[in-house]
Amino acid sequence: MPPCLSRCIALLVLTASAMPLAQSEYAPMTSVFPADLKWANFPIIPKGIQLATVYGDPSKPGPYIFRARMSAGTKLFAHRHPDERWVTVLQGTYRSAVGENFDLATATEYPEGSFYVTEANAPHFSYAVTDVIVQEQGVGPTGMAYVHDEDDPRRRH
């Protein structure tokens, strides 16, 4: 075999063997599929609403994403979060507004595919016109505090 051909073959083998190393320098994509979601009830959230974490941990520093599934007619009374929230309506029709009192007359109707941002600490409320799934994103740690203590489901008996 001519020396030039041997060198070319050796170079091809080395290049081909290095390709997997170059491709593996990045972590694989993080993927979450609908069947992977673990929907749960939380005492601070009214009946008719379930949450599922998609990414991150809302209780820890860093970005997080969760989904909220609401039954038609469910109200979420005025509350606040310490972080800004980016909200996308994935399914259904949803109403929401900034305000310290639940007042549907002031709420904007968000159809499927809509997006809005709620500022950190802004009191806001929402209502599911139909069965709804919304996706919320923020930067933790986060929390939730009702504007009026009597609206907190943990205080109702």
pLDDT tens-digit map of 97-138: 999 999 999 999 999 999 999 999 999 999 999 999 999 999
**Residues 68, 131: Cα–Cα separation, whole Å:** 11
- What is the spatial distance between Cα 106 and Cα 121, in angstroms, rounded to a whole number? 19
Q: Which of 34, 45, 47, 55 is nearest to 136 (CA)?
A: 55
> According to CATH, what is the number of the domain 34-155?
2.60.120.10
Strand pairing report for 115-118 and 124-128: unpaired
3-state secondary structure of 22: helix
d(CA 40, CA 53): 9
- Per-residue pLDDT of 82-104, as tens digits, reads 999 999 999 999 999 999 999 99
Mean pLDDT of 21-30: 79
The answer, yes or no, to whether residue 10 has pLDDT greater than 60, is no
Is the pLDDT at 15 greater than 60? The verdict is no
* Domain assignments of the chain as residue spans, ordered by start: 34-155
